[in-house]
Amino acid sequence: MTNALRLGIAGLGNVGVGVLDIVKKHGALLADRAGVPIKVTAVAARNKAKDRGHDLAGIKWHDDPVALAKSLDIDVFVELMGGEGDPAKSAVEAAIAAGKHVITANKALLAHHGTALARAAEAKGIALNFEASVAGGIPIIKALREGLIGNRVSKLFGIMNGTCNYILTKMANEGRNFTDVLKEAQNLGYAEADPTFDIGGFDTAHKLAIVASLAFGTEVNLNAIEIEGIEAITLDDIRNASDMGYKIKLLGVAIAHVEGIEQRVNPTLVPKGAPVSDTDGVFNAIVVKGDFVGDLMLEGRGAGAHPTASAVLSDVVDIARGNRRPAFGIPAAKLKPYKQSPKKAHEGGYYVALELIDRPGAVASIAQILAHEKISIESIVQRGRQGQETKRATATFILITHDTLETSIRTAIQQIEKNGHVASKPRVIRIERL
């Protein structure tokens, strides 16, 4: 082993420093596994004076990540800056144009530009690897691209955002409301000051777009994903779900139908004891259904400096070994144009929570609306009356529907909101058959 594989890292945040940590601690181990020494020869970041716990004196510094991407001092460009646009996009494009192998942990970049970047990389004969872009240290990309290569995948689903899973777990286990737990998550660094990207479901959607392309051999299509976050989930919803034998999880779901692909991100009632139901806290879990392997679940730390850096290093070693695989499992030119599945009856039905004003005709009115939309009820649970001392005493009704079209349930909810018998906005959550 004489020639080192030279890395240029753009972005020295937590993950970038995590890569430096692993290279420093496991340099000899990585060299044995890769067949050549792994060496960080250049970096780019915004603040050169910041103390990152590493001596960077022997490493070339670039203020401009695009200049780093073109540098003759590196063989592999490692993009850890994040963001769908520049400077990450320009830097990755520059690295590809310069014939440098690219490793990225940037889910947003791939969700928006993955197909085009894959085509460009394959045209230059270089690797575009992104194991760290989805689920941190969980090797879901490698599982889909290599381990399950002999299977046709029909469905994948999972918990892909640790922030949301932490919030829902704390609400369930400690009986605390959403706002309180979100504030705690922010204080602990699990949620950003502006948590919209996480709790709104957008982070999960970016990851789902990537793994769906790998699973089904289609072009990446973020715009096709229906997205619903967890902001409207209440403590009452979590308690009601638990009483009925469910947990609430934010799931990313992708299903291959004959007519096309279905992709969605939404809070879901998951039966206790089903796959992913016991994945709590900041952990992630993804289930893949293959026609020969059956159900495969991968669970672990979906974020964090060292788990994500570990995934980056797995891509580095692949490049060192000469493993060159198409970015999305098959040549980019053979990725099928994305075809969206038409609306289907949701297998599993819906949970509907209604605060009905306690007066004659309220329940009958709701039943009539549901019947008009051809929605049948599997079960009804009535909670105790509230506010009986006022003229607007209410009773909580929890409806569990049989399988029905989402368009039907949404139309019914709109009509229910207008008919004057509900005291607050109805809450609707899918029930997933896993």
Catalytic residues: 207
Residue 177 DSSP SS3? coil
Task: Give the CA radius of gyration of the chain.
Answer: 24
Cα-based torsion angle of the residue sequence 29, 33, 37, 42 in order, rounded to the nearest 10 degrees: -90
Cite the DSSP H helix spans in 83-161.
Answer: 88-97, 107-124, 140-142
Cα 130 to the center of its chain, rounded Å:
14
Contact by Cβ (8 Å): 39, 66:
no
How far is the C-alpha of 195 from the C-alpha of 183, rounded, in Å? Answer: 10
Contact by Cβ (8 Å): 426, 353:
yes
Decide the pairing of beta strands 260-271 and 427-431.
parallel
DSSP 284-322: EEEEEEETTTEEEEEEEE-SSHHHHHHHHHHHHHHHHHT
Distances (CA, A) of 87 to 84, 222, 292, 420: 9, 21, 42, 52
**Tokens at 426, concatenated:** 């109805």
How far is the C-alpha of 322 from the C-alpha of 340, rounded, in Å? Answer: 36
- Strand segments (E) across 218-259: 226-227, 246-257
**Tokens at 17, concatenated:** 């420093």
**Tokens at 271, concatenated:** 């039966």
